[in-house]
C-alpha cells in the first residue's frame, strides 16, 4: 500500500512539473519583447506592414508607381483634411485641464470621459464638462465610451485617438500618418504589444481607431450589457480591445517609420532620448513587440504620442513644440558661428606648429624669433590695415597679401 502511494505521489509531482514548465514556456514567449522582425513573422498573425513601408509619404517613394496609378484611376485619394477626434480619459483634473488647454485644441474635437469610482474626486468632473460612466470593469468603460462617442459624433467621425490624460498627443502627425488611409476601412494603430498570443496596442501610449473599426465594434457590442459581459478584469481594456478586434479580423499594424523608429511611446522624451538608462525601459514594459530604444534613434520625427506625466510637463512640451522657434538667418549675424577661441598662452604655440608641423621644438623659439616669424609673414603696416578692416566687419582671411603656401620655411631662418 505504501509503495502504491509513493508511485502515485511521484506521478502526480511529475504531472504538476510538466504543467508548470508548459505555463512558464508560454508565459515567457508571450510576455517578453520580440527583438527582431523574424520573431514577429512567426507570430499568430501576419502584420499588415513592416517597418520598411509604413510611413504614408514614404510609401509613395518606395512603391510610388502603385499609388500613382491608383490615384490616376481615382480609386485612391489622399485625405488632406482628416478629422481627428481626441478622447481623453480623465483621472487627474490638473492633467485633463492642461491637455484641454494645449494639444487638444489641435484636434477637430476633443472629449473628456471619466469614471465614477465613488470618491469625492468624481464630483469635480463637472468643472471640466467630463462625461462620466460607472462601469463594472475597464473594458466595460472603454466599450461604453465607444458606443457613446459614435452616437454623438456619428456624422463627422473619421479617426479617434484614445489617451489617458497624462499622454501628450501631436494631432498634426497623426493626420500625416493617416493621410493615405481610408478611414472607412478598419484600422487599429498604436504601440504594439503581445500577451497570451493576443496582439494589442498598449493604452499607456494611446491607440487609434478608424471609423471602419468602430463600426465593426458597435455592431458586435451594441448595448452596455454586451460590453459588460465581454470582459471582467480591470486595467486590461487595451488587451480586451485587441482580443475582440482580432476576432473581427482587425489587427494592429507596424506604425514605426522607415528607420524603425516608433511613433507611439509609453515614456517621456527625456527617458527616450537620453541614453544610458535602458534598464528602466526594458523592465517597465516587457510586453512590447519591438525593443525599446534610447538615444537619437528612439523616436520618429513624426512622433504622435509620448508621456506627459503631469500638468507642468504638458504645458512645457506644448510651448517647446508649438511656440519656441529657433532664430535661423542664413548668411547674416547674429547666427554666424564665432571663430574658435584659443586661450592666449597657446596662441603662439598653435601659430608655430601650424607653420612648421607638430614636430617642431618649441623650446628653440624665443620672443625675438617669434617676432621675426611674424615680421616675415606680415609687416606692421599691413597688420594695422587688417585690424582696421576687421573693425569694419570684413573677414580678415580675404585681406592677407600673403598665403602660407607662398612662404618658404628657410626664409625665416629661426630654427
pLDDT confidence band for 309 (50 / 70 / 90): confident
Taking each helix axis as running N to C, give the angle between helix 237-247 and helix 138-152, from 0 to 180 degrees, rounded to the nearest 10.
70
Q: Please state, for a pLDDT cut of 70, what percent of the chain lies above it.
A: 64
C-beta separation of 160 from 149 below 8 A:
yes
Overall average pLDDT of the 217-232 stretch = 88
Alpha helices for 32-183 (secondary structure H) = 37-41, 56-62, 64-72, 93-100, 138-152, 171-178
Cell numbers standing for residue 104: 487638444
Residue 239 pLDDT more than 80? yes
Cell numbers standing for residue 337: 558661428
User: Regarding predicted confidence, which is higher, 299 or 354?
Assistant: 299
User: Regarding predicted confidence, which is higher, 395 or 163?
Assistant: 163
> What pLDDT does residue 338 have?
66
Tell me the domains of the chain and their CATH numbers. 37-322 (3.90.550), 344-411 (no CATH)
Residue 14 pLDDT more than 80? no
Overall average pLDDT of the 237-251 stretch = 91
C-beta separation of 187 from 66 below 8 A:
no
> What pLDDT does residue 412 have?
42
> What pLDDT does residue 388 have?
73
Residue 214 pLDDT more than 50? yes
> What pLDDT does residue 68 have?
47
Q: Summarize pLDDT for 311-364 with one digit per residue, the tens.
A: 999 999 999 999 998 776 665 566 666 666 656 666 767 777 777 777 777 777
Residue 40 pLDDT more than 50? no
Could you give the 3-state DSSP secondary structure of residue 344? Answer: helix
User: Which strands, in side-by-side order, build the sheet including 131-133?
Assistant: 131-133, 109-115, 84-90, 159-164, 207-210, 188-190
pLDDT confidence band for 405 (50 / 70 / 90): very low
Contacts of residue 412, Cβ cutoff 8 Å, sequence gap at least 6: 372, 373, 376
CA angle 207, 212, 215 (to 5 degrees): 95
Contacts of residue 344, Cβ cutoff 8 Å, sequence gap at least 6: none
> What pLDDT does residue 109 have?
94
Number of Cβ within a 10 Å radius of residue 369: 14
First to last CA, the chain: 107
DSSP label of 397: G
Amino acid at each position: 500500500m505504501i509503495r502504491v502511494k509513493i508511485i502515485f505521489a511521484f506521478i502526480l509531482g511529475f504531472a504538476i512539473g510538466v504543467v508548470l514548465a508548459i505555463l512558464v514556456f508560454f508565459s515567457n514567449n508571450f510576455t517578453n519583447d520580440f527583438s527582431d522582425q523574424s520573431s514577429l513573422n512567426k507570430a499568430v498573425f501576419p502584420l499588415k506592414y513592416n517597418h520598411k513601408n509604413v510611413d504614408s509619404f514614404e510609401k509613395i517613394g518606395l512603391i510610388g508607381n502603385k499609388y500613382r496609378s491608383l490615384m490616376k484611376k481615382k480609386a485612391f485619394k489622399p485625405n488632406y483634411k482628416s478629422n481627428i477626434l481626441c478622447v481623453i480619459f480623465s483621472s487627474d483634473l490638473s492633467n485633463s485641464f492642461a491637455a484641454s488647454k494645449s494639444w487638444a485644441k489641435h484636434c477637430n474635437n476633443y472629449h473628456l470621459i471619466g469614471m465614477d469610482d465613488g470618491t469625492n474626486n468624481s464630483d469635480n468632473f463637472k468643472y471640466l464638462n467630463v462625461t462620466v460612466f460607472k462601469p463594472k470593469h475597464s473594458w466595460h468603460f472603454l466599450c461604453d465610451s465607444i458606443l457613446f462617442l459614435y452616437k454623438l459624433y456619428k456624422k463627422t467621425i473619421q479617426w479617434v485617438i484614445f489617451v489617458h490624460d497624462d499622454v501628450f498627443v501631436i494631432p498634426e502627425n497623426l493626420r500625416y500618418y493617416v493621410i493615405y488611409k481610408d478611414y472607412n476601412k478598419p484600422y487599429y494603430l498604436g504601440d504594439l504589444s503581445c500577451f497570451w498570443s493576443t496582439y494589442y496596442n498598449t493604452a499607456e501610449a494611446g491607440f487609434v481607431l478608424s471609423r471602419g473599426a468602430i463600426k465593426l465594434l458597435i455592431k458586435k457590442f451594441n448595448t452596455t450589457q454586451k460590453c459588460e459581459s465581454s470582459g471582467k478584469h480591470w486595467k486590461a481594456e487595451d488587451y480586451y480591445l485587441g482580443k475582440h478586434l482580432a476576432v473581427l479580423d482587425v489587427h494592429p499594424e507596424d506604425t514605426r517609420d522607415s528607420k524603425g523608429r516608433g511613433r507611439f511611446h509609453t515614456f517621456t522624451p527625456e527617458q527616450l532620448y537620453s541614453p544610458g538608462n535602458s534598464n528602466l525601459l526594458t523592465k517597465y514594459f516587457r510586453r512590447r513587440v519591438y525593443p525599446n530604444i534610447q538615444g537619437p534613434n528612439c523616436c520618429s520625427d513624426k512622433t504622435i504620442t509620448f508621456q506627459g506625466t503631469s500638468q507642468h510637463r504638458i504645458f512645457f512640451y506644448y510651448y517647446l513644440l508649438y511656440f519656441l522657434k529657433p532664430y535661423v538667418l542664413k548668411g547674416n549675424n547674429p547666427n554666424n558661428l564665432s571663430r574658435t577661441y584659443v586661450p592666449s598662452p597657446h596662441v603662439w604655440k598653435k601659430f608655430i606648429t601650424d607653420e612648421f608641423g607638430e614636430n617642431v621644438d618649441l623650446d628653440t623659439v624665443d620672443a625675438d624669433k617669434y617676432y621675426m616669424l611674424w615680421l616675415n609673414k606680415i609687416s606692421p603696416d599691413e597688420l594695422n590695415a587688417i585690424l582696421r578692416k576687421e573693425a569694419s566687419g570684413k573677414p580678415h582671411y580675404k585681406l592677407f597679401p600673403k598665403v602660407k603656401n607662398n612662404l618658404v620655411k628657410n626664409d625665416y631662418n629661426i630654427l
